[in-house]
Amino acid sequence: MRYISTRGGMPPKSFSEILLSGLSPDGGLAMPEVYPQITAAELNAWRGLSYPALAFEILSRFVDDIPSNDLRNLIHQTYTAEVFGSADVTPLKTLEPGLHILGLSNGPTLAFKDIAMQLLGNLFQYQLAKTGDELNILGATSGDTGSSAEYAMRGKHGIRVFMLSPLGKMSRFQTAQMFSLQDKNIFNIAVRGVFDDCQDIVKAVSNDHTFKQAHRIGTVNSINWARIVAQVVYYFKGYFAATQSNDEQVSFAVPSGNFGNICAGHVARMMGLPIKHLILATNENDVLDEFFRTGVYRPRATTETQHTSSPSMDISKASNFERFIFDLTGRNANQVAELWSAVDKGNAFDLSTTPLFAKIKDYGFVSGSSSHAARIATIRDIYQRYHVLVDTHTADGLKVGQAHREAGVPLICLETALPAKFAESIQEAIGHEPERPAGFEDLESLPQRFVVKDADVQVVKDYIDEQCKGSL
């Protein structure tokens, strides 16, 4: 398996070569040269597998330069009942026949991103141990990626984490979860701006190849291919849990701001998983919904980004979307590079009058958006009807998913996080705060450790440079 760039400027590389790198040298994203195809016989054989065993079958098709025994050990070390609360790892919760929630939020930070990030931490440490190198991870978060990355990397030998987040734009729980970490290899940088400012800084640093090489900069944002491929696994797991045979199709409803989670569903579908529809749900920041409805991809200016009650999706430039457009264009890297030369200047592109817009339906995508009133009503409705409490992002997925639900096609809504992370909205919806899992009772009262910086690339570079002079 070799990996190429969506913009065509990178020679084919192995999984290990792209694992630590983030953006490709040409500014594009790594993609497998071909998607492995899963046969009906393989699907049948996989149906009864445990989560770690299934993860090995899928990941080994994308990772062929790590010895099988090592990869198997890394996977089994990651996906344990101790870390994820049960041997199931991603248990399926049935609300009623044909309507399910896939539980993805039982890891250390109570968010779906733990599932990929815990594996990433172990892969990084394995790779660095072989070379004796250090790695400085630079990431941006709108809420959950940051804490998932920090909890996965805390105390890991040879790794520092520099995590940018928009000052005052996350929930109090999310903020405390990150800023309360006292590990010496964790550096939280609260940026005066919005998430897109943070993401732009990460991309600018990644595109400064001299600085990136000198400081061994890597990324854990979902532009890292390993994040995407680790998430492919739970689409298969959810499909098997919601069906009786491989003759059935399912649809997945996926809350999505950065297009990473639903990109994994796209990969699973391209591999041959019987997915009828990938239902993309946005909040008020509806850049992705607008594209799938109209064919126009119009990244918003940072001043247009709304601060909402599902803050992890307060994103106006979806960094993984380029991967789907690469496939939609028939993997035409020149066309992708041309489209993103406009995007990188803050401009839109319009495919509505091209044959590509009609092709979108061939990939199973449909979309919709939600609002504060809609998500509060959905939380209340799901709680009253099924005695199940969901967070604000999962509510967006349920709201849009149910609008596209079809008779005879099981609908699986992907859980984003546990309700405890968004207590104010839960209080508004049902009249009382959600229960907190053990160990999180006094999170907001813990001492916090972070610095505040302007949304300035050089300021962040200077801070990284200063911290890298200290020993790990």
**Residue 291 is inside which H or E element, if any?**
helix 287-294
Residue 28, phi then psi, degrees to nearest 5: -85, -170
First vs last C-alpha separation in the chain: 34
Is residue 15 within 8 Å of 120, Cβ to Cβ? no
Cα separation, 296 vs 286, in Å, equals 12
DSSP for 251-282? EEEEE-SSSHHHHHHHHHHHHT--EEEEEEEE
Cα separation, 126 vs 131, in Å, equals 9
Residue 107, phi then psi, degrees to nearest 5: -85, -170
Cα separation, 192 vs 195, in Å, equals 10
Q: Which of 325, 328, 355 is nearest to 339 (CA)?
A: 325
Q: Nearest 10 degrees: CA dihedral of 91, 94, 99, 105?
A: -30
Record the tokens describing residue 426, joined without a space: 């839960």
Is residue 70 within 8 Å of 212, Cβ to Cβ? no
Is residue 140 within 8 Å of 165, Cβ to Cβ? yes
Which residues carry out catalysis?
A: 113
Record the tokens describing residue 10, joined without a space: 């990178």
DSSP 436: P
C-alpha pair distances (Å), 162 with each of 38, 286, 424, 458, 460? 38, 28, 28, 14, 9
Question: Using N-to-C axis directions, what is the helix angle for 321-328 and 260-271, rounded to 10°?
Answer: 30
